Amino acid sequence: MQALTNSRIETEYRVRTTRSAQLYAEACAVIPAGLTHDSRTLLPYPIYAARAAGSRKWDVDGNEYVDYFGGHGALLLGHAHPAVVEAVQAQVTQGTHWGSSHEAEVRWAELVHRLIPSAGRVRFTASGTEASHLALRLARAYTGKPKVVRFVGHFHGWHDQVAAGSMSHFDGSVPAGIPATLVEQTILLPADDIGVVTETLRSRDDIAAVILEASGASWGMVPLPEGFLAGLRAVTKQHRVVLILDEVITGFRWSRGGAQARFGVIPDLTVLAKIVAGGLPGGAVAGRADIMDQLDPAAAKKAGREKIGHQGTFNSNPLCAAAAVATLSIVEREDVCDRAEATTDQIRAGMRQVLIDENVPWGIYGDASAFLIFQNPNGLDIDPATFNPLRHGFKELKGVRNANLSHRLRIAMLANGVDIMGAPGGLVSAVHGAEDVARTLEAFRTSVRWMKTEGDIAA
Ligand SMILES: Cc1ncc(COP(=O)(O)O)c(C=O)c1O
């Protein structure tokens, strides 16, 4: 059993979630930390979900939440969208894995090709991690060069090549379990100075690719400075370095054509996952035909190149393809990104007003349908009315966090019927509406009041 507490926030959370507490205790006996994804960490313990529909989610104790986890951002259309459910149900009776090519993968690739400007060709993977792995392999093979420029705090999945400096080891040091020789193959740069990138690309001849999160680190937690993306495009083109845009979060969300369509910056390769697979597991690499066609034996031979290998049991399996085609067809037809963004505007404005009313020196920000809450762990002099994340560097926004503050806000919000992500923040779907916004803002006001009372926020 969990220890008892004097905190009202924790008590409110615990009394509502006794079955979750029990499941967590059972999980801890067989699953390290009781968790299957580091980002699902929550103190004192996480909720255990039982079902979800639209913008809402219910836990095993029967509590209802407005959900801003959105399947880690995969669910632009909300939970259990009828068209996606129908497509998956129809498919599951026909078989979940044929081990054959099939029509839905062709339609899926066509949709990605039509929607994402850089998608001359598309290859499916089983996750975003696999997609970034494949993109780096393609870029290195294409250029014949070994090094990759990455940016501190930018996340491209959990594989070894991109582990250092994304969620930890921001100083470029070698995380346990990762070979130092692999870490040396990437050059970790700050994402706030195009001059540093320009000088790096100018002074070296061993760089295959530059990869970055289109939103800035962690779906915009550390936004990119004005002109940075366009500057990268220009300098990578000049030095014939492959520009890889990681649009795992931003793809089909920042606009139906991703961040690249929103900002008018077309990369050589795009890494996709989450929404691309309709909320089921899956990812894709899309990009220039001459780079992608290294996967095609005939084209590679014709170009005098070696064919690049790529396998994966669950690549474009029919179940995920069915969900993907259902989802992307709606993204193509309807203005779902605009709807989600309009709702997010209301959430951001409403939360900002709560901070002003309650005299809390935090900041609310975020692009497109993402909202982020800066909790000001170092007690800076911040006016929520004018907070601008670009005035704060990586270190302040992501580098030095007080995880406890995030946990406290999250359990307070859960106790008030809202599930936000650990950033803290959330990704909003096209089916969140006025009632969700009202409930969210009420929960936020109550939560910051509780946190003031309990000394989490200086009065
Ligand atoms: C920007 C970005 N790239 C890559 C990934 C990895 O995708 P996956 O979790 O599907 O492996 C994520 C996952 O959150 C992500 O946010």
Express each pLDDT in 177-236 by its tens digit.
999 999 999 999 999 999 999 999 999 999 999 999 999 999 999 999 999 999 999 999
Residue 251 pLDDT greater than 60, yes or no: yes
Q: Which residue minimizes the CA distance to atom 5 of ligand 1?
A: 157
Residue 459 — pLDDT band, cuts 50, 70, 90? low
Q: What is the pTM of this model?
A: 0.97
pLDDT, residue 5, reads 77
Counting from 1 in the atom list of ligand 1, the atom nearest the Cα of 72 is 14
> Residue 4 has what pLDDT?
58
| Distance in angstroms (rounded) separating the CA atoms of residues 76 and 337 | 8
d(CA 437, CA 356): 18
Give the number of C-alpha atoms closer than 13 A to the C-alpha of residue 364, restricted to the C-beta side: 20
Q: What is the DSSP letter of 147?
A: E
pLDDT at 348: 98
Minimum-distance ligand 1 atom for the alpha carbon of 273: 10
The DSSP code sequence of 27-78 is HHHHSGGG-SSGGG--SS----EEEEEBTEEEETT--EEEE-SHHHHT-TT-
- Whether 3 shows a pLDDT value over 60: the answer reads no
The predicted model gives 404-415 an average pLDDT of: 97
Q: How far does the centroid of ligand 1 lie from the alpha carbon of residue 268, in Å?
A: 19
pLDDT score, position 207 = 98
Q: What is the pLDDT of residues 24-68, one digit of tens each?
A: 999 999 999 999 999 999 999 999 999 999 999 999 999 999 999
Q: Which of 326, 276, 318, 315 is nearest to 102 (CA)?
A: 318
The two counts, helices (H) then strands (E), for the chain are 18, 14
* Type of residue found at 251: G
C-alpha distances (whole Å) from 48 to each of 25, 43, 343, 373, 453 are: 12, 13, 27, 24, 28
Q: What are phi and psi for residue 74, nearest 5 degrees?
A: -80, -15
Give the per-residue pLDDT at 447: 98
pLDDT at 2 over 60: no
Q: How far is the CA of 273 from the centre of ligand 1 (A)?
A: 7
Q: List, for residues 315-365, the tens digit of each pLDDT value.
A: 999 999 999 999 999 999 999 999 999 999 999 999 999 999 999 999 999
Lowest mean pLDDT segment, chosen from 344-348, 373-377, 392-396, 413-417: 392-396
pLDDT-derived band at 114 (thresholds 50, 70, 90) equals very high
8-20: pLDDT as tens digits = 999 999 999 999 9
Q: What residues does ligand 1 touch, defined as CB less than 6 Å away?
A: 72, 127-129, 132, 155-157, 213, 246, 248-249, 273, 283
Residue 223 DSSP code: P
Question: What would be the CATH architecture of the domain defined by 8-79+336-453?
Answer: Alpha-Beta Complex (3.90)
- What is the distance in A from the centroid of ligand 1 to the CA of 210? 17
Q: Which of 370, 414, 93 is nearest to 253 (CA)?
A: 370
Domain layout of the chain by residue ranges:
8-79+336-453, 82-333
Atom number, ligand 1, closest to the C-alpha of residue 213: 1
d(CA 281, ligand 1 centre) in Å: 11
What letters, b where the CB count within 10 A reaches 16 and e where it falls short, cover 2-21? eeeeebebbebbbebbebbb
In this prediction, residue 399 has a pLDDT band, given cuts at 50, 70 and 90, of confident
Ligand 1 atom nearest to CA at 250: 1
- What percent of the chain has a predicted confidence (pLDDT) above 70? 99
Report residue 184 as tokens.
Answer: 């040396």
CA 373–ligand 1 middle distance (angstroms): 21
Q: Where are the alpha helices (DSSP H) in 334-458?
A: 336-358, 394, 403-415, 434-453
Q: How far apart are CA 325 and CA 175, in angstroms?
A: 38
Query: In this predicted structure, what is the pLDDT of residue 403?
Result: 85
Q: Which of 321, 307, 311, 338 is CA-nearest to residue 279? A: 321
**128 Cα: distance to centroid of ligand 1 (angstroms):** 5
The β-bridge partners of 207 are: 147
Q: C-alpha distances in angstroms, 238 versus 120, 232, 234? A: 21, 10, 6
- Residue 195 Cα, ligand 1 centroid: separation in angstroms? 28
User: In terms of CATH architecture, what is 82-333?
Assistant: 3-Layer(aba) Sandwich (3.40)
Strands laid side by side in the 49-53 sheet? 49-53, 56-59, 64-67, 418-419
Q: If you take atom 9 of ligand 1, which residue's CA is the nearest one?
A: 128
CA 162 to chain centre: 15
The DSSP code for 424 is T
Q: How confident is the model at residue 1 (pLDDT cuts 50, 70, 90)?
A: very low
Kindly report, residue by residue over 267-313, the tens digit of the pLDDT. Answer: 999 999 999 999 999 999 999 999 999 999 999 999 999 999 999 99
Q: Which of 249, 250, 253, 254 to mutate to test the pocket of ligand 1 (most atoms within 8 A of CB)?
A: 249
Average pLDDT, the chain: 96
Q: 217 CA to middle of ligand 1, Å? A: 12
**Look-up: residue for tokens 């259990």?**
80
Taking the C-alpha atoms of residue 10 and residue 308, their distance in angstroms, rounded to an integer, is 53
Ligand 1 pocket mutation pick from 69, 133, 156, 285 by most atoms within 8 angstroms of CB: 156
The Å distance, Cα 147 to ligand 1 centre, comes to 21
User: Residues 229, 232, 236, 242: what is their CA dihedral angle, to the nearest 10 degrees?
Assistant: -40
